[in-house]
């Protein structure tokens, strides 16, 4: 807590919305400020010292972020967000789409990993298929019968942003690849909570946003396998990515930098590297696992609440609902007591439709949360129940 200016200023405030975005440690803000105070210039094209310093800062950040997932920097592009990267991929995958080709997703996808594919499906008359999420266990359901010769892309999240379940997607990715499908992993929810070693993931692309790993907005680490990026056209076109431009044609540079047209967000990249560095030093995983267990235990003990199932492995995120109260009313009550949770569909309307739930309350923990905060949260829920629920 003491390393987070926003939380320091208001010690009574409880922030339980880290799955949406993490609060930022001082070390990250300092790295960001230091970049702008000491090294800031535009990169790559610079013929002066400061431009070279900025280029070094960007490339060092890229290397640190690539290391974080066990990848080579040559295969990592920094995009503005997970949303931007998924849109870029959907538009540029090197596939000669035929009507009736299939894209396989899970029902737990964030809208960022549904809508770009929906758009593509409408354009080329493709079929979207969804792997169900088991309502009893919260695990990824059977997918074997959904994978077939028409499946061209499998794009799945590694963890639910609603329930916190970590899905066993590796067998799916491996089988999909063996079928010749392109495999994409939305790692936005898992990156802060599990060590990722890209070599064991069987994926052609893997993406996560830095603001969910204690960095800032404006940077998403996007791993692209060399066999994919080398044959894929840039997501956007513009300065810094061309070999040659004529009045009517252009040729692209032969490196992953071709996905970074225009002036890059070097400050956000530097901050992202500082964020993962901070996370690696803190290693909050074991403590957060205990805190989540405490939270779930308390929630289960309250008959008026139903906790969504989240399988056997989970991020420190939990969702619940009540038949007695609207999710939005629970969140508003907590907000009145200085506790920030999120209510709604969490940009995962397909999951909530499958499970026939209108809205749920989500509590998502971060490195700054404590057992005392969980106790105060539960006391506040109980106080609400005593006031409004028990008649």
Separation CA 211–CA 18 (nearest Å): 9
Tokens of 233: 């056209």
188 binds ligand PMP (CB under 6 A): yes
- Tell the smallest beta-carbon distance from residue 21 to ligand PMP (Å): 8
Which residues lie closer than 8 Å to 50 by C-beta, 6 or more apart? 39, 40, 41
Which of 18, 23, 79, 209 touches ligand PMP by CB under 6 A? 209
- Tell the smallest beta-carbon distance from residue 209 to ligand PMP (Å): 3
Given the residues 22, 203, 219, 347, the one annotated as active site: 347
82 binds ligand PMP (CB under 6 A): yes
Separation CA 66–CA 86 (nearest Å): 18
Which residues lie closer than 8 Å to 254 by C-beta, 6 or more apart? 230, 243
Q: Which helix (H) or strand (E) holds 279?
A: helix 266-282
Nearer to ligand PMP, 151 or 189 (CB): 189
- Of 146-185, binders to ligand PMP (CB under 6 A) are 157, 161
189 binds ligand PMP (CB under 6 A): yes
Nearer to ligand PMP, 54 or 131 (CB): 131
Separation CA 88–CA 205 (nearest Å): 12
Of 310, 288, 299, residue with least CA distance to 381: 299
- Tell the smallest beta-carbon distance from residue 79 to ligand PMP (Å): 9
Site string for ligand PMP, 343-382 (x = CB under 6 A): ----x-----------------------------------
241 binds ligand PMP (CB under 6 A): no
112 binds ligand PMP (CB under 6 A): yes
219 binds ligand PMP (CB under 6 A): no
Which span sits near ligand PMP by CB under 6 A: 44-52, 110-118, 286-294, 295-303? 110-118
3-state secondary structure of 317: strand
Nearer to ligand PMP, 83 or 222 (CB): 83
Separation CA 60–CA 383 (nearest Å): 50
């Amino acid at each position: 807590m003491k390393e987070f200016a926003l939380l320091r200023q208001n010690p009574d405030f409880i922030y339980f919305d880290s799955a949406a975005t993490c609060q930022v440690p001082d070390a990250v803000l300092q790295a960001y400020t230091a970049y702008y105070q000491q090294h800031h210039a535009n990169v790559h094209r610079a013929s002066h010292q400061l431009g070279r310093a900025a280029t070094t800062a960007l490339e060092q950040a890229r290397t640190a972020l690539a290391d974080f997932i066990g990848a080579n920097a040559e295969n990592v592009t920094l995009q503005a967000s997970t949303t931007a990267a998924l849109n870029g991929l959907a538009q540029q995958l090197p596939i000669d789409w035929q009507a009736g080709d299939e894209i396989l997703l899970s029902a737990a996808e964030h809208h960022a990993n549904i809508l770009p594919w929906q758009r593509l499906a409408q354009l080329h008359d493709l079929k979207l298929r969804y792997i169900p999420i088991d309502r009893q266990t919260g695990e990824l359901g059977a997918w074997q019968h959904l994978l077939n010769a028409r499946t061209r892309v499998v794009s799945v999240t590694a963890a639910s942003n609603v329930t916190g379940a970590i899905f066993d997607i590796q067998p799916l990715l491996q089988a999909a690849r063996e079928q010749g499908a392109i495999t994409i992993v939305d790692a936005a929810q898992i990156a802060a909570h599990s060590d990722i070693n890209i070599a064991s993931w069987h994926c052609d692309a893997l993406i996560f946003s830095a603001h969910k790993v204690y960095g800032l907005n404006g940077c998403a680490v996007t791993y692209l396998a060399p066999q994919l990026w080398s044959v894929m056209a840039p997501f956007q076109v513009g300065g810094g990515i061309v070999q040659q431009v004529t009045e009517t044609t252009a040729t692209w540079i032969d490196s992953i930098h071709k996905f970074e047209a225009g002036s890059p967000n070097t400050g956000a990249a530097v901050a992202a590297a500082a964020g993962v560095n901070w996370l690696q030093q803190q290693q909050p995983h074991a403590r957060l696992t205990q805190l989540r267990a405490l939270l779930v235990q308390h929630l289960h003990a309250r008959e008026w609440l139903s906790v969504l199932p989240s399988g056997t492995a989970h991020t420190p995120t939990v969702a619940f609902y009540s038949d007695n109260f609207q999710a939005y009313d629970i969140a508003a009550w907590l907000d009145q007591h200085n506790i920030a949770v999120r209510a709604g569909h969490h940009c995962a309307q397909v999951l909530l439709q499958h499970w026939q739930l209108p809205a749920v309350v989500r509590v998502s923990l971060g490195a700054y949360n404590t057992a005392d905060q969980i106790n105060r949260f539960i006391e506040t829920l109980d106080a609400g129940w005593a006031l409004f629920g028990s008649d």
